[in-house]
Amino acid sequence: MPAKSKAQQKAAGMALSAKRGDTKKSDLKGAAEDMYESMSKAQLEDFAESDRKGKPEHKN
């Protein structure tokens, strides 16, 4: 399931980076922290790799 907004895609990318060990978990905030805890690496990859073009900044 791809991300529905740019903000959701960015948060998934941050969480995925922490899952991979590229960034510290303590650097995560808000939605990225929640995604890190509740989603698998495969789910995060699916959200993070979605195209940003044509997506709203935030989901209404």
Domain ranges of the chain: 6-48
Q: How far is CA 3 from CA 7, 28, 37, in A?
A: 9, 18, 17
CA quadruple 54, 17, 32, 47: dihedral sign: positive
Specify the pTM.
0.82
SS3 30: coil
Residue 60 pLDDT: 66
Tens of pLDDT, residue by residue over 10-49, are: 999 999 999 999 999 999 999 999 999 999 999 999 988 8
Residue with the bigger pLDDT between 3 and 34: it is 34
Q: Could you tell me which residue, 33 or 51, shows the higher pLDDT?
A: 33
